[in-house]
Chains A and B, each alone.
Chain A
Amino acid sequence: MSDLKKIKEEFISKLKLKLDLAQINEIKSDLFGKSGLITSQFKQIASIAESERKNFASDLNLIKDELQSLINTKISEIEIADINEKLEKEKIDVTLPERTIIRGKIHPVSQTIDEISSIFSEIGFSVAEGPDVENEYNNFTALNTPDHHPARDMHDTFYLDKEKKKLLRTHTSPVQIRTMLKNKPPFKIIAPGRTYRSDSDQTHAPMFHQVEGLHIDKDINMGHLKGCLNYFIKEFFEVDKIQMRFRPSHFPFTEPSAEVDIGYKIKDGKIIIGEGDKWLEILGCGMVHPNVLKNVKINPDSFQGFAFGIGIDRLAMLKYGINDLRAFFECDYRWLNHFGFDPLDVPTNYRGLSR
């Protein structure tokens, strides 16, 4: 008994000292080696009186476990200390620059188109498209703008042939014609895209973007038009209050026709939409003219509805505070970086249009 106790106490105090791995291994061998102290105690078990043997074996096992565990702990402490010492030497300067970042940008016009599509998607509109090169009929005549009508003066048209039969579309309205000729009512579409007019100055570019809207059904009236645009403008500018003014205007392809102004004010040199007593024209709209419906073989007594056309670039400028329309198309890398959007910023209704 006392032997065992002596061994235990001796080695526990030994293991309390600061030891390196070799010293521990030496202790380990002293205890558990072929002729180690604990090993030899085990060999004695057979020679102990039967009455004491059970207790002796039990005590021996306890001591063995205790010492072994103590040794293991000591070993792992040393290992951890070694690793820590090693890692300390491996320290790097994490404030050095990271590896090269790549980041692309989406053009504000594309972003705005996606915003618009998302808003109209919410109220059931689908997206339609048409070609950039149009024939004179779809761009004008079918839209109740006959040849030699002064309303054609409002569109400075690029022509592709001397007979003036082929042209670059001056608005997205020919998509109305194509959509209605191809399918049967009801129609509920928007048509964003490139449009072209041959003037160019600070506020006009020879190419710009429009989105057309068309909703034709049995009973769509001007109140629906007002509601639809009211909804759109509020959603687009992400404001609760919006002041809108519908005022009579004239487009050959709609009647009654209206232009829509939104209220704004200038504060610290910036436009604030939705407040103030100034008006800004942002779109043209109206009830689709019966002549247009007849031109696409739809009976205006059975179907009616509204159409609108909005300048996309203008909307983008207003929303994102871009001053110069021409800059949209100049591809200045610094401008694109500043006004462009992260490709992950997909405008959606549930996540919000913009951050």
Chain B
Amino acid sequence: MSGCQKAARPLAQCLRSSQALCQSARAIRLFTRSSRLSEEAVTETASFTTTPIYDPEAVTSSKEEKKLMKTGVFPIGSRRRRAAIKTSENILFEQLPYQCFQEARKVLQADREEKLQLIAKERLRISNLIATDPKSINGGRKFKQVRLDSMRRHLEYLKIQADINDPLIKKRFEDGQGDMTKPIYRYLADRKWRDYQRKIIVQRIEQLAVVPDVLPFFEPTAEVRLAFRQKNVQPGEFVDSRISEVSARLKVQVFDKGERLVTVAVVDSDVPIVDKDWFASRCHYLAANIPLSPTETSLPLSKATEGQLIHPWLPAFAQKGSPYHRYTVFVLQQKPGQILDTATLKEKIKRDGFSMRRFVDRNNVTPIGMSIFRSIWDEGTAGVMQRAGIEGADIEFKRKKVVALKPKQKARGWEARHASDKYKSLRR
């Protein structure tokens, strides 16, 4: 601290304190009626004479910021950024005057034009192949179908390649504004999902043995996010029974185009059966013919209509002493045009002893997505069971004691010598 500052410090402190006093006085006076009235009058006159409307994107001085904050709007970003925005003319991203960037855009645009021509050509080829008689093609109808499939796949590939280098598309996707009806956004979303979320769900399928226990094989192709009310559930999470009392909300994102009907099934695969000393599965929810498309992702299970519903939501409950229960939520895609008859399914399918394998095989549906949560006995389970009218809250499962076949032998050797409590610390 320089000598000058040292000298000035008491003065500065004094000034500061006086300012604070002033402010405090003002704050106190605010509560009185007269001053408030006068302030109101002042604001009214101000609004009549000049109405300074500050842009939250371009406020730079602290005074203006304060005034803006008083109205309840907070300035956006840093002051430096706001100053930069204020001084710059709003140039579109594509027209930014950077030479290398503009040259790059030209290259990308030329490539896009090429790809568009290829797309047109491929479309023409496909239509020509459709028009030709399968008898004139070497290999017949089957070969024609194979060629058509591969050509369509190539067309999809070209469509994605035409747009994948567009920076604006990338930006829009990152902002979550992508239009899922377009193949490029679906492709990007799929890639993002496969990057992390799919790996997690695949790991859970393996760790929690969903694949041999519930289904013989399963490859997830759609993203399923699970939530109860406000609570998002991570795959495999233990969920409190009071939270899972209400039916789940699903968000299912499919990455292939078109509308389809899906069946949703929630299965508990760890129901203990005491008589057989075995575990079975139980259906906690089943609904069919629910429309789903890449843009309609929300799937609240409680909103299923009477015609769609087969079994309404049964709260997840794990009785005391039983190991944790795995509740798998499966989204099964029905074949195009296939509508399941819910009335007969209601009669046929019972909750207890529900087999996912059998359901998939009998009804010819394909599992596309899965989510899983776990449940264990907690303090709320008894209440949940009582409210849902489920009996057995008072039952506690205990392991059957296995009697050893070998008779117990008297301790010998080291064990016998160290049997007293003196060597307690040595014992295992």
Q: Decide whether A and B are members of one complex.
A: no
> A residues within 8 Å of B by Cβ?
none
> B residues within 8 Å of A by Cβ?
none
